[in-house]
Structure 1
């Protein structure tokens, strides 16, 4: 049952259905409570998705964040990937600690914790993007666990086991401010930068040069 859960989670992951006019930038993190030692399945993975296109990747075996699109490698400096690697390694440790907490709370021993956060935006006639909504949600063994209601700026517990985390996080004002700041500002800045290249708003000659 556990291995089936892993395959389902890594095959589909957390997904958000965007409207035709919407664009999205999401990061999906998947942590297993132990290394199952199966080909292609890692104890921790992190993926960047721009309009459902994989743009960067990290896993616990390679321990390096690297580009999955040629334009990402060409456009972003080495320092970006170095800092990104450090960030992913830090998140890997955060997941390791918190999945252990969840297992103790639920009296379980081998499971999967996922987190997806990012933003969605509507395109405008002038080519710019306007913030539509933020996404910050957690699942445990493929079931909704906890998500951030960006309209009301509160965490919502989808199951009883998540209520303790909701109460704790709701009382941390800095966390709420950081979450909103990331969703509405930082995520949107990255979306505008990444999407500008990905959607061909550069000239055809420039794209060829970037991807060569």
Structure 2
């Protein structure tokens, strides 16, 4: 029986005037129906390039990238990605040894990128993860590495000593990455700087089910959704969902309310949505719940979310909630040899 596990990206959402560039490299081992290695590139949380070990080619995922970059660009990126695949095949095996994992499905990830805010300030991300947890991350302010678990301490000690490599990473995050981000935003300005307001509606499978407030079709991805009781923000028995991509490049998000909270006082509860594309708050009250949507409707929403994530992220593995990172990385080799335990990764930064 195949297990399908989606990669959920715990990323910073793009505010109006904020742009971001991120890459996710994922190696997978175990009995699972996904490519052994994938690269997903995101501009403002939308996929613009993709590579996996099955197709063996970096391909554009937006029309503006197809139009702006020619064969030389894609051939160069493919060559880099192919070499990186071999490194990550080694990385995941070493990580499994360190965690004493010989069977099962496992993932090793590298995420890097940068963010440019409308006030000119920047951020940089450069981080490795294993099975959805942080493994080691770079702090560019101190030029040191943070190891949240014992298995990464060997790596931290060696990488902290690589002063030249750490200076390079800091420079990359603060300069080269930002320049590529500006270039890509320029390519796709008409798409990336648009402001599409969300459509908001309430759904409920049956009277005993939670009420689902769903916003969909919005862009950019940052959105504020709250349940209110008597016009005051209400947090009890409320679950906030993850912002997910739609296949058309827009986004969707849900926030649910336990029916015990409102069923005897429907007039008091409402869902309030704020988005840069909407001139004013969008307010939907509980009395506006779509009547008897039925299980098919509810299932359609869930499946729609899964299909969107799978399409945009190629259904990469691991129950992963990840944070941040960027660029020039290194990989561990033999855990038993402290001098050789951290082989340097080849240059893996994409343009």
* Unaligned runs of at least 5 residues, structure 2: 192-351
Q: Does 1:74 align with 2:67?
A: yes
Match of 1:178 among 127, 143, 168: 168
CA distance in 2, matches of 1:82, 1:131: 33
Assess if the C-alpha contact under 8 Å between 2:3 and 2:32 holds in 1: no
Q: d(CA) in 2 for partners of 1:14 and 1:168?
A: 28
Bigger relative contact order, structure 1 or 2 (CA pairs below 8 A, ≥6 apart): 2
1:107-122 pair list within 5 angstroms:
107-109=100-102, 110=104, 111-122=106-117
Deviates more, 1:49-58 or 1:114-123: 114-123
- The match for 1:99 is 92
- The structure 2 residue matched to 1:30, chosen from 26, 32, 57, is 26
Select the structure of larger CA radius of gyration: 2
Distance 1:136 1:62 in 2: 26
Name the counterpart of 1:134: 124
Runs of 4+ in 1 over 2 A off after TM superposition: 13-22
Residues 189-200 of structure 1 mapped to structure 2, 5 A cutoff: 189-200=179-190
Q: Deviations over 1:121-165 (max 9, x none)?
A: 1125xxxxx341100011110111111111112110121111111
For the structure 1 residues 60 and 168, does the alpha-carbon distance in structure 2 shift closer, same or farther, using more than 3 Å as the test? same
More helix by share: 1
Q: For residues 60-103 of structure 1, what are the alpha-carbon distances to aligned partners after superposition, in whole Å with 9 as ceiling and x for unaligned? A: 10000010011101111211101100111111111111111111
Q: 1:152 aligns with which of 117, 142, 160?
A: 142
TM-score w.r.t. the length of structure 1 is: 0.82
Q: Is the 8 A contact 1:14 1:28 kept in 2?
A: no
Structure 2 residue 78 is the aligned partner of structure 1 residue 85: yes
Given the two structures, how large is their TM-score scaled by the length of structure 2? 0.51
Aligned residues: 189
Alpha-carbon deviations, 1:11-45, whole Å to 9, x = none?
x13523455543110001111124x352xx21110
Structure 1 unaligned spans of 5+? 125-129, 202-212
